[in-house]
């Protein structure tokens, strides 16, 4: 039989104050050798170790995030579904790149969720007023 109860924390009081995080102790220990470790990794990278090279490059040059130029196109439709369809059409016709199109579709999905929550909240308020 499981002791787990849905909605109940297994540790409601949290970590007791004064008990250090074991990772902090490990970090302090590594910091003592930081310069030596760094020199070793750089030396390994310069000697052709691909993993060490990747580690060094990731620290000095973060991955490039995709970016797109601003675009304009006609968003048609009265409903969110029709607007999403117009985005898909713009992608299919080459008027809109797929990455931007996906971001716009995600924004419409988010807006749909917000609209749904607003509608449910409004309905709940109406029901509460009727029963009061």
Domain count, the chain: 2
106, part of any domain: yes
Quick check: is 55 in a domain?
Answer: yes
Say yes or no: 115 and 85 in one domain.
yes
Domain-located, residue 87: yes
Whether residue 89 sits in one domain with residue 127? yes
Residue 74 domain-assigned?
no
pLDDT in tens, 63-102: 787 776 777 777 888 999 999 999 999 999 998 889 889 9
User: What is the average per-residue pLDDT within 110-126?
Assistant: 94
Residue 8 lies in a domain: no
Domain limits for position 47: 23-60
CA distance 101 to 82: 14
In angstroms, what is the C-alpha Rg of the chain?
27
Three-state SS string over 24-87 comes to HHHHHHHHHCHHHHHHHHHHHHHCCCHHHHHHHHHHHCCCCCCCCCCCCCCCCCCCHHHHHHHH
Query: Is 2 among the domain residues?
Result: no
Q: pLDDT for 16-59, tens place per residue?
A: 777 777 888 888 888 999 899 999 999 999 999 999 999 988 88
Residues 89 and 50 in one domain: no
91, 123 contact by CB (below 8 A)? no
Q: Give pLDDT, residue 4.
A: 66
With contact defined as beta carbons under 8 Å apart, do 41 and 57 qualify? no
> Does the residue 112 lie in any domain?
yes
């Amino acid at each position: 039989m499981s002791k787990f109860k849905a909605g109940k924390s297994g540790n409601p009081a949290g970590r007791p104050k004064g008990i250090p995080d074991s990772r902090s102790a490990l970090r302090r220990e590594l910091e003592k050798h930081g310069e030596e470790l760094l020199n070793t990794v750089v030396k390994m990278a310069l000697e052709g170790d691909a993993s060490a090279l990747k580690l060094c490059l990731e620290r000095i040059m973060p991955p490039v995030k995709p970016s797109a130029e601003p675009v304009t196109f006609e968003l048609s439709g009265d409903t969110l579904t029709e607007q999403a369809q117009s985005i898909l059409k713009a992608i299919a016709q080459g008027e809109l790149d797929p990455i931007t199109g996906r971001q716009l579709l995600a924004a419409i999905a988010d807006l749909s969720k917000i609209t749904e929550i607003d509608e449910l909240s409004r309905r709940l308020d109406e029901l509460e007023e009727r029963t009061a």
